[in-house]
Amino acid sequence: MIVLGSVTIGMIRKGESPKGDILSIAEVAGIMAAKNTSKILPLCHPLLLDAVRLWFDVHDDRVEAHCEVSCSAKTGVEMEALVGLNAALLTIYDLAKAVDPVIEIGNIFLEMKEGGKSGTWHHPKARSVESDDKPVLQNLSGLKFAVGTLSDRASQGVYSDVSGEILKRHFSGRGAVEVMYEVIPDERANLESLIMRACERKADVLLLTGGTGLSKRDITPDVVAGMASKELSGFGEIQRQYGSRFTKASWLSRPRPSLSGTR
């Protein structure tokens, strides 16, 4: 964060200063710095970043800055985020010092990282550990769910079904009741039959995993489209967007969340 005087805070809130909109310029500076981290830190590898995002929380006596960086490479992007944040804060300092030279920069730390071998990590000081950013585990008691995995090889026992088991644990762990679980080959007739059985068993939600790619055998969204009454396209976009944080192949997926045609 950067501690500033009331006059400077007022200029920032109005988007006015002798040198322009301070936060807009700081945002651009942070993005540029994050993308050029390897040129600043001698032992930092050059990376092709997927996204850099900066945002600011303006208080009466300070501005709290945040920098989020994402990348599909195997190495982490902590340094890119920290460099971007520092560049943004220094830009605010540079633009504000003519008006108010009594400025302090401090309390800079890595708030959280996600992905890689170490998984998700939160700094003990991070607000997201204890406050609004922390995901709330929803109670799904009373919800009846069914899971169907489409995989030729898993249905033949070549390997175990992983994604279906994850879905089962996720919903069961929140109090939902499993009414059906099947692993079937990528065949239209098999999937149509599975969907009908899930409806007959009064499942509130049927979770299908597999078969949403681009090969000739990937028929899940096509079958669902023919049996559903309405498509909930927004949920599919959320799935793709979230998945793209871990693999760009997410954008090749064709999820089709829908309402049952029998209801």
- Name 208's bridge partners: 148
Cβ-count burial 80-118 (b if 16+ within 10 Å, e if not): bbbbbbbbbbbbbbebbeebeeebeeeeeebbebebeee
* Contact assessment for residue 226 and residue 247, using Cβ atoms and an 8 Å cutoff: no
- The one catalytic residue in 21, 50, 61, 94 is 94
Half-sphere exposure of 33 (CA within 13 A, CB side): 25
**Residue 214 burial by Cβ neighbours in a 10 Å radius (0-12, 13-18, 19+):** exposed
**How far, CA to CA in Å, does 198 sit from each of 71, 144, 192, 208, 235?**
39, 10, 10, 11, 21
Distance between CA 55 and CA 35 in Å, rounded? 17
Host H or E run for residue 83: helix 78-96
Two tokens, residue 262? 């029998």
Is residue 50 annotated as a catalytic residue, yes or no?
no
* Closest among 256, 160, 253 to 215, alpha carbons compared: 253
| Catalytic residue numbers, as ranges | 94
